[in-house]
Structure 1
Amino acid sequence: MARVTIKDVAKKANVSTATVSRVLNNVGFVSEEIKKRVFDAVDQLNYQPNAVARSLKQDKTNTIGVVIPDISNPYFMTISKGIEDTIQELGYQLIFCSSDENPEKESGFLRLLYGNRVEAIVLATSGKNEELIDDIHRAGIPIILMDRRIEQPDLKLNLVEEDNLQAAYDITKSLIEQGHTNIGVVNGPDHVSTAKDRYLGYKKAIDAYGIAEDPNLTFNGAFSQEGGRQAVEHFLNLKKKPTAILALNNAMAFGVLLELFKRGYRVPEDMTVASYGEIEAAELLQNLCITSIKQYPYEMGKKIGNLILNCLLKKDVPPSHEVIQSTLVLPNKNQKNE
């Protein structure tokens, strides 16, 4: 079936293509009678305007690119929901890309979004793309960093992040105060700012309590569920096993729990587990009792959405850095097995 064009609409309405364009874009004066003829023709032919052509003409696409490291992680999708709820009333739409914590994949998506003329990019970077990000920023595309910094002092971008160091310090301190001095830590990739900050928070807490750092008790779980599973395998093969496992993101924490249950461990009776981030599936796990950090991703998304609107509507707004505080959630003792 041939695609209906603006020429077909003009012919059906017995007007010029310029008149059809004026009616559809609500530009200039056109009589009500002609407007009716054009809209009737559009309805009868089921004409769909070419969005790409229109965006080229108007120099506006009304699209915002969102590059996240894991589209399956509820944390990032909740942030995205907050962004969407903030910007959609003004006609902006989101385009999602998932880098899978792969800098090369992230680079390809950034180039794709730039080539498709998005009006802004929200980025939770997987690292190693500073030069490309700088180039896109200099080309006039606003970039808002989501929870992950870029370690390049001369690159000034909008940033909304959690206080990752403080939250990791708080949750580690809580484990120590519960009596644990042998804590297995499942961390993310060391080139990502959140992983760096969270590990520094853990290190700050054990230093404060005079606990020596043991390299065998740190495992790089790459912020993935599989990484959490592999971490348990590693820790349980140690001669001196940890009494608690701290996973520094929710996906890794879920992997830790699944592997422990698979091996017949009870939580917290046989192994204490702590999670940086809430585990949505935890409600399905009977009698689960863990320490966690409660994050506020929807609020982060709303802040990012407002920053996008500031950048696009007000122009020339200086970059801002907003920090969202998380909350330590202690285990509910009543949930323990009898």
Structure 2
Amino acid sequence: MTVPIVIDYNFGGEKKAVPNVKDVAALAGVSTATVSRVLNNKSHVKDEVKLRVEKAMKSLKYQPNDIARSLRKLKTQTVGVLLPDVSNPHFMRLLGSLEQELSLHNYRLLIGSSHDQDEKENALLTVFLEKRVDALILATSQSDLSLKINGFFDESIPVILVDRVASEIQVDFVVEENEESTYHMVKYLLERGHKRISLINGSRHISTVLEREKGYHRAMSEMGVKVDIVYGKYDQKSGYRLTKEILTHRKERPTAIVCANNDIAIGVLLAIQNCGLSIPKDVSVVSFGEIPLQDLVEPKVTCVVQNPEKVGEVSGGILLKRVTGQGGDLPERVVLPTTFREGNSVKILG
């Protein structure tokens, strides 16, 4: 690991890296947004919290960048929105709700798709910083963002995570419940006599992948049934390819397939059809997330129903509080409930 250093040209020696806002927040035990409010003499900061921040700054010998702070006061009325795939109906609905909420306050959106590629996500984060966005809405493909968004913290730019969470950072997030919802969906299959249940999941560094896997694993373990998980990406191609492998290369195929998201589910449906099999006669299917235009498609896939419009609305509300200095000292952590919708894609086994 490379240790950053600062060269002192007057004396030719080396000294420790200059402390930043994140260092102050960590030492004071608060969020970077709270440090920003203390630096900018904003209200809504308790005296005790303010003293902790000031003590941390003194201990670290932190010196605010006055030039950067003055430049940050020039608002651009833009919000960076970085999602995995804006063509996915789930994220399209989230984006539409968010835009509606923020446009009422004259904010414009700068939108990017990472396609769950870390390198592309990091490049777009840099672009948003260069465009001087006033806030960032992010559905990250990475489990640890601590080094990737330091620039936003240093510039006191609010960061709100949506759909997914990340470790090592204390920021606002708005997500939907994943583990318990998946648990109940798998229990639904088990209660109908299924034992060979395959989970087609996404990449393991994404938080929703891990949470949905936990729910699946818990339901299967409680019944003493062997787990069967295959990993790919949150897309139709993975769903199609992995389903073809499961159905054609195994001596004993599963009686049911759990799709970790709606894109995977579309690929699963196509693969089952192309294998000359039918749902639910030959294999049952359930999905985390509803299939687009489900009313026009047969069979009706039993699924966990999400509410991305609500995610967009709530995250937009939190963002507006942050950019106006009205947010609280601690990050807001919102977990929205899902619902379960029974279709006709599951066969009852004897």
Instruction: Name stretches of at least 5 consecutive residues in structure 2 with no aligned partner.
Output: 1-70
Q: Which residue of 2 aligns with 1:322?
A: 334
1:195 equivalent among 196, 199, 209 = 209
Residue 292 in structure 1 maps to residue 303 in structure 2: yes
Q: Which residue of 2 aligns with 1:212?
A: 226
Shift of 1:316: 5.2
Q: Which amino acid aligns with 1:244?
A: A
Large movers: runs of 4+ above 4 Å: 332-335
Q: Which residue of 1 aligns with 2:15?
A: none
Residue 138 in structure 1 maps to residue 154 in structure 2: yes
Q: Which amino acid aligns with 2:79?
A: I
Residue-pair matches, total: 275
| CA displacement, residues 41-67 of structure 1 (integer Å, 9 cap, x when unaligned) | xxxxxxxxxxxxxxx797111010100
Residue 247 in structure 1 maps to residue 259 in structure 2: yes
Match of 1:289, SS? Answer: coil
2:159–2:172 CA contact under 8 A, matched in 1: yes
Q: Which residue of 2 aligns with 1:272?
A: 284
Moved more, 59-68 or 203-212: 203-212
2:260–2:287 CA contact under 8 A, matched in 1: yes
Match of 1:166, SS? Answer: helix
Residue 182 in structure 1 maps to residue 221 in structure 2: no
Whole-angstrom CA distance in 2 between matches of 1:167 and 1:70:
23
Match of 1:97, SS? Answer: strand
1:221–1:252 CA contact under 8 A, matched in 2: no
Q: Which residue of 1 aligns with 2:315?
A: 304
User: What is the TM-score normalised by the length of structure 2?
Assistant: 0.75
Q: Which residue of 1 aligns with 2:21?
A: none
| CA displacement, residues 26-52 of structure 1 (integer Å, 9 cap, x when unaligned) | xxxxxxxxxxxxxxxxxxxxxxxxxxx
Larger Rg: 1
1:146–1:159 CA contact under 8 A, matched in 2: yes
Shift of 1:307: 0.6
Q: Which residue of 1 aligns with 2:233?
A: 222
| CA displacement, residues 182-230 of structure 1 (integer Å, 9 cap, x when unaligned) | 01111111011000000001001111111122xxx32113111101001
Q: Which amino acid aligns with 2:321?
A: N
Match of 1:80, SS? Answer: helix
Residue 107 in structure 1 maps to residue 118 in structure 2: no
Q: Which residue of 2 aligns with 1:73?
A: 88
RMSD of equivalent CA atoms: 2.1
Whole-angstrom CA distance in 1 between matches of 2:74 and 2:345:
58
Q: Which residue of 1 aligns with 2:31?
A: none
Q: Which amino acid aligns with 1:136?
A: F
Shift of 1:130: 3.1
Match of 2:111, SS? Answer: strand
Instruction: Name stretches of at least 5 consecutive residues in structure 1 with no aligned partner.
Output: 1-55
Q: Which residue of 2 aligns with 1:118?
A: 133
Whole-angstrom CA distance in 2 between matches of 1:113 and 1:88:
19
Q: Which residue of 2 aligns with 1:59?
A: 74
Instruction: Give the number of the structure whose residues are more often helix, by fraction.
Output: 1
Q: Which amino acid aligns with 1:164?
A: N
Residue 283 in structure 1 maps to residue 295 in structure 2: yes
Residues 151 and 129 from structure 1, CA distance in 2 versus in 1: closer, same or farther, beyond 3 angstroms?
closer
Identical pairs, percent: 33
